[in-house]
Structure 1
């Protein structure tokens, strides 16, 4: 073969090896130069050049193009358009980002058909919902962000979570997603776990989720339990919002669990020292303290000496004079001075006397004082927690008092 024949053969072989470049083709491009925020590449097996602008390399508009590629790199690209035969700027517009997106769309379609979920990251809030990054742009309508209405969607920006694919149309770059069903499933699983493991008497931590006039709902990590207003504190609480706030971390004791009715009753005050625990400090035996008449009954008056602590002034301990009913000399809300006769913190009983602090008519002051100081008695208890003498009166003592008049 002559040199001329050889050169002609090599030329034909080279020409046959040159592939025509078409729009949509996936090609390999060797980076020849980085110029003016774009890559200049040589399309392999085509003998032509193309350009890849920064926006076609990455979705990050603030990225440094020099971090995306370097001269000599060979990267996979898709042909977007022909630019003519401009040697300075290249003959074709190429994209790496859109080729990667094409692969992502294919993967998402496969997951959609298989009923699988996606992991996405929230990029921004737009009218009607959230824009997320799923490798491609996705959208979550506001009604599908959570299992309840969300007033402010901004708190989700930057968060990553699992979603279900609702609608996909790669040709229109449309990807509609939902988090609502995922949240429902997660809560159902957590709820079942909590009901299976939670028992009355358990002490757990939670967070105040909602406040109402009748109590506070505490999030136990997937299900809410109720602390009734009467179980918030030993002190009187007018409104739960006076002492609690949404988002506050609290420790509670489980009172009851009813899985059939989805109810969990909780208590905060059960974990707090009660006023009866300090009764020896609040009302030591023999001390004189001020109290408020709370209730009047046929057998005596209940007097509050501290928040949550009431003691009984038996009718026989109200006055030295015989009285038919406590209403004859006392009224509800009245402030009175009482002497502590006995206390029983375990059974929350407190015996008080008003007459022990007053002088008996016709009795010298010193003698009255001695008599009053020794006016402490023990009586057998009845089933309701009060002594028999407290319930029916000390008839003998009343007769003796009457004979002294």
Structure 2
């Protein structure tokens, strides 16, 4: 036994190396690689051995991780594995270096590139080399995203918590996206010109309209600006995810509020149809709204006029719904037309009187036999 110990001592002296201790970091050269392990020359009495599990966190085939003659840093797990080899770890050697890098990146608040490995409760697990990093779901992105779609992807993130003692490394992708958004926001706001066309994507529908992203900036299309026609709810016109072409409306840089318009400003009904409306004209329209003071009649898409309750009939009525119904077609006479204020005053009873006069004229002229019912087809009085 003494001779064996002496032999070992002499052998170590011949190699002129110090005794190894667990935790030492050594430089070595790959001697051989197979599908289960890697043998390494570490300039010691015995060669080192790295198991597949100690080569990479995802347990790749060793031949995908290192090649023969590669020079690598290794971590001593055990100076003697009982079979004449030094048990080594490539993962731990790299982790030490990677942890040193992470400390510097955290201190300098620099971005790092990580690979998403799996989804877990509350977020995703990523790796910076061989160091495990947790990214909470709320910090994955500034937008809603399915966490499962990130698996296998590489992302730039920023470390928010670093505690190696408790194996806690937390990172955020959202911080980077917020920084990029805020950086570009001023440029985008300064580029906005009222009336200019922009391509966008509908992000969210609300009761009063739709929010649209026009390239890093969201604006609101009020329900009244979705269409020239009357819109009861936004989903009648657009859906979330729709690609739309919008016009820039009001731009409030101070309060960062942007209004958008979906309806084509070049097809504004009052401009398109103003020449078709003249005081005294008899036109056909559709009842679109009934109120206590009268009824609104749509003459053209996007153009409505008011028939005051006193202009519906000579008979006394308490409310417009006593004689009119929604979507009922009626003939009306234009009493007043103000294009600038976009107001039209209409009369149903005068349209009736005018048609009565015309009927008398026809009867007296050629006894054509046209009835009042034919002329006022569509009226409904009770």
Q: Hey, what does 1:185 align to over in structure 2?
A: 179
Q: Per the alignment, do residues 14 and 277 of structure 1 end up closer, same or farther by CA in structure 2, a change over 3 Å counting?
A: same
User: How high is the TM-score relative to the length of structure 2?
Assistant: 0.72
Q: Hey, what does 1:79 align to over in structure 2?
A: 76
- Distance across 1 between alignment mates of 2:233 and 2:289: 24
Q: Hey, what does 1:319 align to over in structure 2?
A: none
- How many pairs are equivalent? 342
What whole-Å deviation, never above 9, does each CA across 1:118-143 have from its counterpart, x for those lacking one?
A: 23332222112221222221112234
Q: Hey, what does 2:196 align to over in structure 1?
A: 202
Q: Per the alignment, do residues 309 and 355 of structure 1 end up closer, same or farther by CA in structure 2, a change over 3 Å counting?
A: farther
- Distance across 1 between alignment mates of 2:153 and 2:215: 19
Task: Measure how far apart 1:355 and its partner are.
Answer: 5.7
* Alignment equivalent of 2:63, drawn from 63, 66, 78: 66
Task: Measure how far apart 1:210 and its partner are.
Answer: 1.4
Q: Hey, what does 1:140 align to over in structure 2?
A: 135
Alignment of 1:328 onto 2:325: no
- Distance across 2 between alignment mates of 1:21 and 1:296: 94
Task: Measure how far apart 1:168 and its partner are.
Answer: 1.8
What whole-Å deviation, never above 9, does each CA across 1:206-233 have from its counterpart, x for those lacking one?
A: 2212111111111233332111000001
Task: Measure how far apart 1:28 and its partner are.
Answer: 3.1
Gaps of 5+ in 1: 1-10, 316-323, 371-405
* Alignment equivalent of 2:116, drawn from 102, 122, 128: 122
Alignment of 1:241 onto 2:235: yes
- Distance across 1 between alignment mates of 2:218 and 2:95: 42
- Distance across 2 between alignment mates of 1:84 and 1:60: 24
Task: Measure how far apart 1:16 and its partner are.
Answer: 5.4
Q: Per the alignment, do residues 13 and 24 of structure 1 end up closer, same or farther by CA in structure 2, a change over 3 Å counting?
A: closer
- Distance across 1 between alignment mates of 2:358 and 2:15: 131
Q: Per the alignment, do residues 272 and 210 of structure 1 end up closer, same or farther by CA in structure 2, a change over 3 Å counting?
A: farther
The answer (yes or no) to whether the contact 2:284–2:331 under 8 Å persists in 1 is: yes
Give runs of aligned pairs for residues 362-381 of structure 1, distance below 5 A: 362-365=360-363, 367=365
Q: Hey, what does 2:169 align to over in structure 1?
A: 175
What whole-Å deviation, never above 9, does each CA across 1:160-219 have from its counterpart, x for those lacking one?
A: 443332222334443122334333333322332222221211211222121111111112
Q: Hey, what does 2:253 align to over in structure 1?
A: 259
Task: Measure how far apart 1:254 and its partner are.
Answer: 1.2
Give runs of aligned pairs for residues 42-61 of structure 1, distance below 5 A: 42-44=41-43, 46-61=44-59
> Which has the higher Rg, Structure 1 or Structure 2?
1
Task: Measure how far apart 1:57 and its partner are.
Answer: 2.0
Superposed CA RMSD in Å reads 4.2
What whole-Å deviation, never above 9, does each CA across 1:248-282 have from its counterpart, x for those lacking one?
A: 221111111112222111110135745567759x9
The answer (yes or no) to whether the contact 1:119–1:162 under 8 Å persists in 2 is: yes
- Distance across 2 between alignment mates of 1:14 and 1:82: 16
- Distance across 1 between alignment mates of 2:330 and 2:162: 78
* Alignment equivalent of 1:220, drawn from 199, 210, 214: 214
